[in-house]
Amino acid sequence: MPPTPPSTPARDEARIRDRGDACPGALRLHAADDGGLARLRLPAGRLTAHQVEALAVAAETLGDGRISLTSRGNAELRGLAEECGAELAALLAEAGLLPSPTHERVRNIVASPAAGLDGLGGPEVQLWAHELDALLCAEPWAAALSGRFLFVLDDGRADVAGLGGDVTLVAVRPGAGQETTAGQETPTRQETTAGQETPTRQETTAGQETPTRQETTAGQETPTRQEPTAWQEPAAGRLYVGGRAWLVAGADAPRAALAAAGAFLDAARTAGNGAWRVRELPEGSTPDVAGALDRAGIAAEPVPPAESLLVHAPPLAPGPLGAASLHVLAPLGRLTAAQLRALLPAEEVRLTPWRGAVVVGAAPGHQDHARLAALDSLGLITRPDSPWAGVSACTGRPGCAKSLADVRADAAPGSARGLPVHYSGCERRCGHPHGTWVDVVATADGAYLVDGAPTPRTALHDAVTTARNGAIARATTPSTPAETTR
């Protein structure tokens, strides 16, 4: 399989941005071929039951009846009428989904969605996300961040650390190095510098797979729950920006992330290239994070370069989660309003960067299989052995004018699991996964390229099966995939 196509210039090829980003928001709608598009930023993907219902109502009454989930755990509404902006804004504001109209596009905060539910990581990151969101919305200068700038908060299990955050916080136990959720050091797995990604599996020092990602083969029962093993002390945080890292107290972690974002804006203004993201800064324009932390009164210990490595694990698998929660995936990243409502009752719903949802308080342990079966009957992906797990697609035709095909209608998962598969209607590859994936791109002649190989539409199933089978073997081979933009 060829390397993941790079979608940003190399570090020494400074990108020049001569305008602000055009990312849609809840108030700034994008005109697509199928109507208006609104993107709702949901810090840590969190929704109350009332907000779930509000999204379903908005999709049904104002849009096309569906909710698209993004690779940042955000939600999109499509098919919106041109004149519905004020009505949509009022509906979202009433539900508490627009705390700051001036900052609504910069609330890009991804957090480990299982944090605090299964005892396998630092539960603080969900609180960090809430506090960071409040801090962002309270600072007028933060509204200058690009709609693509990304904060990533990992609870220590390394499930979201590899999502290419501009500012990444990883929870660690006080006095410890970066660890797995079981608390064991991880010197045996592939490690990369901050911002790089690798598909290798997280392992313990004994070489065994970490129990956060139990998988089954086809036909086996859904994996059993893991008994919580709660961290006994509050987590500290490792702050990663531009390939460097600092250790900060957990209580200071949200303020440290905000200070790092301010350091980026200062560096971008000095560089003068209009950078939207840290990786777009030219050489020599490194953000002065240490200075920003000092000015904010935040004690920070620099982490030696040799230890400034991010450890990346596979994504959260669908199925039971903790004592009373579930994780399900949306087919091709899109939910109907009825499917979204079916996630209730719940204490809260957390949309995930793998285009799924964690249903918190979904059912007691002895009832989870019945709840999963009900969601499965509605078309949601509830098992890790589903071939559709990890398969995503861009909007495609007829919604996108640039698309060369109706990729959602053509999508085939293949018959094997492995790396993610993404179907793209054109070479822009909108919404592609991070790291390395099976790359399926439509071509002008009505066919596709599967990892660069010309493939007729009728042969997609077999070609994707072959690619995913090969990916399983290659997933443990050390590599340095290209960075991605989303």
Selection from 389, 385, 407, 388 nearest residue 397 by Cα: 407
Is the pLDDT assigned to residue 129 strictly greater than 50? yes
Tens digit of each residue's pLDDT (9 = 90 or more) over 295-312: 999 999 999 988 888 888
* Positive or negative: CA dihedral 88, 89, 91, 95: positive
- Measured between alpha carbons, how far is 236 from 417 in angstroms, rounded to an integer? 36
What are the tens digits of pLDDT across the range 353-404?
Answer: 999 999 999 877 668 889 999 999 999 999 999 999 999 999 999 999 999 9
> Burial of 224 by CB count in 10 Å (0-12 exposed, 13-18 middle, 19+ buried)?
exposed
pLDDT tier at 60 (50, 70, 90 boundaries)? very high
Mean pLDDT, the chain, whole residue set: 84
How far apart CA 285 and CA 362 sit, in angstroms, is: 47
The amino acid at 129: A
Mean pLDDT value across residues 430-438: 89
What pLDDT shows up at residue 311? 85
Helix axes 253-271, 124-138, angle to 10 degrees: 50
* Lowest-confidence pick of 132-146, 213-227, 275-289: 213-227
Closest CA to 328 of 308, 347, 302, 354: 354
| pLDDT tens digits along 464-478 | 999 988 755 444 443
Confidence of residue 12 (pLDDT cuts 50, 70, 90): very low
CB-count exposure of residue 28 (10 Å: 0-12, 13-18, 19+): middle
| Region 305-323 average pLDDT | 90
> What DSSP letter does each residue of 231-299 carry, written as one string?
-SS--EEEEEETTEEEEE-GGGHHHHHHHHHHHHHHHHHHH-S--SSGGGSPTT----HHHHHHHTT--
User: How crowded is residue 483: how many other Cβ atoms within 10 Å of its Cβ?
Assistant: 19
In this prediction, residue 1 carries a pLDDT of 40
What's this model's pTM, rounded to 2 decimal places? 0.84
Residue of 461 and 186 predicted with greater confidence: 461
Decide if pLDDT at 479 tops 50.
no
Residue 176 pLDDT grade (very low, low, confident, very high; cuts 50, 70, 90): low
The span from the CA of 31 to the CA of 400, in Å, is: 10
The C-alpha angle with vertex 318 and arms to 314 and 322, in degrees rounded to 5, equals 95
> In this predicted model, which residue has the larger pLDDT, 15 or 221?
15
Query: What DSSP designation does 74 have?
Result: -
Residue 137 in this model has a pLDDT that exceeds 70: yes
Distance CA 376, CA 37 (A): 28
Q: Which residue has the tokens 């709840």?
A: 371
How far lies 222's CA from each of 243, 320, 369, in Å? 39, 8, 8
| pLDDT at residue 175, as a whole number | 57
Over 90: is that where the pLDDT of 410 sits? yes
User: Does residue 157 register a pLDDT over 90?
Assistant: yes
- pLDDT the model gives residue 14: 54
The predicted-structure confidence for 213-235, as pLDDT tens digits, reads as follows: 333 333 333 333 334 445 556 67
